[in-house]
């Protein structure tokens, strides 16, 4: 234990213990993401000015991410795009989590239901993910609704698989048998004994789903099957920028791409650090 503390204290955050450091990372990353969403919502109110007098400008103090071929500020566009991406990701993760909980409960109800859930999971996992999103999106008529529903409907299988295995394992525990012998009902046991073990896993799974959902939405949009060109989506920005790369306007793709990467990594970091906090070894410290 003492060696771990020593190495941490030599690092960036002198004087903080591991737990405080983890909380600090989670807090600051969440703040960054929240800041992006809030500012994108505020910016979304006013239409982005096109100013042909200042088109295709390289990054400067006035336009940190440069401007595009219509003179729009790329920093603002990126911010709006990221905000939209995070919202789509959030919606998709929430819906996927709800589906996971429902299917998890279903699989614990009985043998037939469990085989059905397991078959459904295998079916969804056997189709290439991106292809599945595109197919569902097209099937739903495309557009924003299509891609959001498609992303939401395809991210539950891996989490469901984890939750199902966890429920199975929990049901063999002696304290569950004891609870039944003490006269407790199935639903009482599910909510008091099983659910508390699943909540951290599900929470973590939801957060780790975010970056997946965001990247999938962006790639489907980039490929032209997703959000419409009128939306300020990162995928749209990136695919448009490709046409200008050969003209030497590198900043059009570079900054939005880098920002997307940072957002995705930020979610991963939150998930990873939350996972550390929930580790059973130090859960009650």
Partner 1 sequence: MHLKGENVSFGYKRNNLILKDVNISLGSGEVLGLIGDSGSGKSTLCKILAGYENKYQGKVTLDEKEIPPKGYNPVQLVFQHPEKAVNPKWRMNDILNEGHFVSQDILEAFGIKNNWLNRWPNELSGGELQRFALARALSPKTRFLIADEITTMVDSITQAQIWNIVLDIVEELNIGVLVVSHDRNLINRLCNDTVYLKDINNT
Nearer to partner 1, 24 or 195 (CB): 195
Distance of closest approach, residue 138 Cβ to partner 1, in angstroms: 45
Nearer to partner 1, 58 or 109 (CB): 109
| Interactions with partner 1, residue window 16-55 (CB under 8 A) | none
Distance of closest approach, residue 45 Cβ to partner 1, in angstroms: 45
Q: Judged by CB under 8 A, how many residues of this single chain contact partner 1?
A: 16
Neighbour tally for 220: CB within 10 Å? 22
Nearer to partner 1, 45 or 183 (CB): 183
Vertex 102, ends 173 and 86: CA angle to 5°? 115
Vertex 170, ends 165 and 175: CA angle to 5°? 175
Regarding 168 and contact with partner 1 (CB under 8 A), the answer is: no
- Is 85 in contact with 263 (CB distance < 8 Å)? yes
Regarding 109 and contact with partner 1 (CB under 8 A), the answer is: no
Nearer to partner 1, 39 or 179 (CB): 179
Nearer to partner 1, 167 or 215 (CB): 167
Neighbour tally for 269: CB within 10 Å? 16
Single residue of 10, 14, 111, 284 touching partner 1 by CB under 8 A: 284
Nearer to partner 1, 120 or 278 (CB): 278
Contacts of the segment 246-255: beta carbons below 8 A, 24+ positions apart: 247/56, 249/56, 249/66, 249/68, 249/69, 251/58, 251/59, 251/65, 251/66, 251/74, 252/66, 252/68, 252/74, 255/59, 255/64, 255/65, 255/66, 255/74, 255/75, 255/78
Start-to-end CA distance of the chain, whole Å, equals 13
Regarding 175 and contact with partner 1 (CB under 8 A), the answer is: yes
What is the 8-class DSSP label of residue 11?
S
| Interactions with partner 1, residue window 210-269 (CB under 8 A) | none
Regarding 174 and contact with partner 1 (CB under 8 A), the answer is: yes
Binding mask 176-205 for partner 1 (x = CB under 8 A): -xxx-xxxxx-------x--xx--------
Distance of closest approach, residue 180 Cβ to partner 1, in angstroms: 8
Q: How far apart are CA 236 and CA 218, in angstroms?
A: 8
Neighbour tally for 21: CB within 10 Å? 18
State the residues that interact with partner 1 by CB under 8 A: 173-175, 177-179, 181-185, 193, 196-197, 280, 284
């Amino acid at each position: 234990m003492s060696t771990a503390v020593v190495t941490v204290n030599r690092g960036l955050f002198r004087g903080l213990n591991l737990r405080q450091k983890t909380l600090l990372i989670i807090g600051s990353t969440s703040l960054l993401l929240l800041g992006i969403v809030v500012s994108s919502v505020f910016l979304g109110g006013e239409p982005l000015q096109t100013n042909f007098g200042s088109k295709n400008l390289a990054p400067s103090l006035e336009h940190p991410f440069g401007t595009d071929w219509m003179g729009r500020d790329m920093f603002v566009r990126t911010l709006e795009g990221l905000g939209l991406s995070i919202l789509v990701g959030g919606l998709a993760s929430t819906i996927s989590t709800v589906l996971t909980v429902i299917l998890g409960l279903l699989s614990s109800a009985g043998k037939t239901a469990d085989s059905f859930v397991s078959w459904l999971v295998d079916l969804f996992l056997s189709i290439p993910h991106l292809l599945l999103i595109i197919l569902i999106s097209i099937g739903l008529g495309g557009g924003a609704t299509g891609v959001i529903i498609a992303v939401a409907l395809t991210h539950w299988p891996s989490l469901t698989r984890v939750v199902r295995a966890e429920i199975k394992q929990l049901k063999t525990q002696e304290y569950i048998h004891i609870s039944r012998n003490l006269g407790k009902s199935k639903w009482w046991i599910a909510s008091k004994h099983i659910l508390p073990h699943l909540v951290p896993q599900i929470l973590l799974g939801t957060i780790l789903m975010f970056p997946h959902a965001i990247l999938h939405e962006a790639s489907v949009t980039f490929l032209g099957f997703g959000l419409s060109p009128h939306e300020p989506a990162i995928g749209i920005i990136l695919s448009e920028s490709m046409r200008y790369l050969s003209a030497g306007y590198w900043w059009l793709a570079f900054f939005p791409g880098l920002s997307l990467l940072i957002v995705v990594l930020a979610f991963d970091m939150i998930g990873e650090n939350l996972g550390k906090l929930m580790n059973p070894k130090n859960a009650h410290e």
